[in-house]
Homo-oligomer: A and B are copies of this chain.
Amino acid sequence: MLYSQLFTKTKKQAPKDEQTVNAKLLCRAGFVNKTMAGVYSYLPLGLLVLRKIEQIIRQEMNAIGGQEVFLPALQPAENWQITGGWDEIEVLFKIKSRTERDYALGQSHEEIITPLVQSYVNSYKDLPLYIYQIQQKYRDELRAKSGILRGREFGMKDMYSFDLNQSDFDCFYAKAKQAYLKIYQRCGLTAKVTEASGGDFSEKISYEFMVLTDAGEDDILYCDQCEYCINVDIAKNKAGDNCSKCQKGKLKKARASEVGNVFDLGQKYTKAFDFYVVNEKGIKVYPIMGCYGIGTTRLMGVIVEKYFDDKGIIWPLSVAPFQACLINLGGQAAYQKAKEFYQALTKAGIEVLWDDRQESAGVKFADADLIGIPIRLVLSDKTQGQVEWKKRNEEKTELLSIEQAMQKLKPEI
């Protein structure tokens, strides 16, 4: 992509009301634009990152047998009345049509997916099933905060599992947990699996996937020796206590941000919709459901909270809008050389943003650092036909031939 054709521009200042690193940097660099409190527009650079995150999630959901669907956000009130959510869930947006019909705006999709799956399941042999979607969600938050971490409209992958019994659910949960950890790893994050309360969805304990960051909204206690991790809201211990699981480590307290969750929904929704099957022993069974969420836009925000410096964002390669940023400086010779290099890179399938503007080195370098593309390639009269290679997260530069640079870029795709 040519920088000169991008309609967004970097900004020196973030909107005054933005407090968090993710919102400040994403707004300044032109990834998102604040439409109103808790609601953001995703601009060309931001959409590129979001689509990469979504694709990583999609691949890992498909790998554990997930089938993708796309469910509506505009939902009949009746479904929410059946489960009690209409009166109980405070963040549920409600809409009245001009013919006085009541609708809910989906904050989750149990009320839609349960009767949908029910209509296709004729026998216990049709289970288990794992259905997911990647879609916008809506929550009537009292206060929107933390930039794109907690909004009134946000992107989410939500998967729903339908199993015949608890042990099948437990077995799939273990698989889903591994898929989740792999997703975070592919996005450059390390997540801790944390016990938490089930909230609106379940009376059982839920699992939250937490990334340690000061921008987080939760406090967790984690063992410094084993995997044990618990949200302080439900913890009976405190920082400094011995770990009750491994008996070796000590509990530490940290600020963390949730990047995913799993709820064991039990039979709450299948019973509400009278969705049952007759099992191989002739017994009527209500399937056990699980709900597995990952906020896609939130994940984008948490990545920024983990990867930035005083100059801007430092995207992990896997979710960067472009692999490389090509900059030409000085006269026509460098411009021509850059044009050829850009065409060669594009032809080789390497995603590159070419800053072809007539701007100073200072402006181009500052914008490249703010946008945070992993590799910077500079062609100038000084580099004499070679290219200056610099990683966003390193100070070191090196001069390479065009061929060497091409070779070095290719294996990293």
**B98 to A95, Cβ gap below 8 A?**
no
Q: How near does chain B come to A122, taking the closest CB pair, in angstroms? A: 8
CB-contact partner of A129 in B7, B74, B90, B136, under 8 A: B7
The stretch from A35-43, A185-193, A229-237 touching chain B is A35-43
**A71 to B41, Cβ gap below 8 A?**
yes
CB-contact partner of A47 in B40, B68, B138, under 8 A: B68
The stretch from A113-121, A218-226, A240-248, A267-275 touching chain B is A113-121
Report the copy number of this chain in the oligomer: 2
Q: Is A131 at the interface (CB under 8 A from chain B)?
A: yes
Residues of B within 8 A of A43 (CB): 69
Fill in one digit per residue for A55-99: 1 if any B CB lies within 8 Å of its CB, else 0: 000000000010111111111100000000000001001110111
Q: Is A50 at the interface (CB under 8 A from chain B)?
A: yes
Fill in one digit per residue for A100-132: 1 if any B CB lies within 8 Å of its CB, else 0: 000001000000100011011010001001010
| Identity of the chain B residue whose Cβ is nearest the Cβ of A35 in the assembled complex | B72
Residues of B within 8 A of A126 (CB): 7
Residues of B within 8 A of A76 (CB): 35-36, 39
| Identity of the chain B residue whose Cβ is nearest the Cβ of A97 in the assembled complex | B140
Q: How near does chain B come to A90, taking the closest CB pair, in angstroms? A: 7
Q: How near does chain B come to A183, taking the closest CB pair, in angstroms? A: 20
Q: Is A6 at the interface (CB under 8 A from chain B)?
A: yes
Q: Is A33 at the interface (CB under 8 A from chain B)?
A: yes
Q: How near does chain B come to A95, taking the closest CB pair, in angstroms? A: 5
* A interface SS class: mixed
Name the residue among A40, A68, A142 with the largest chain B CB count within 10 angstroms: A68
**B72 to A44, Cβ gap below 8 A?**
no
| Identity of the chain B residue whose Cβ is nearest the Cβ of A119 in the assembled complex | B33
Add 10 more A-B contacts to A41-B70, A42-B70, A72-B136 (CB < 8 A).
A5-B65, A6-B67, A7-B67, A8-B120, A30-B120, A39-B75, A44-B67, A50-B70, A74-B138, A90-B98
Residues of B within 8 A of A408 (CB): none
Query: Would you list 9 pairs from A and B whose C-beta atoms are within 8 A, ordered by A residue?
Result: A7-B67, A7-B120, A7-B126, A39-B76, A41-B70, A41-B71, A50-B70, A90-B98, A93-B95
Task: Report the Cα distance A71→B32, complex, angstroms.
Answer: 10
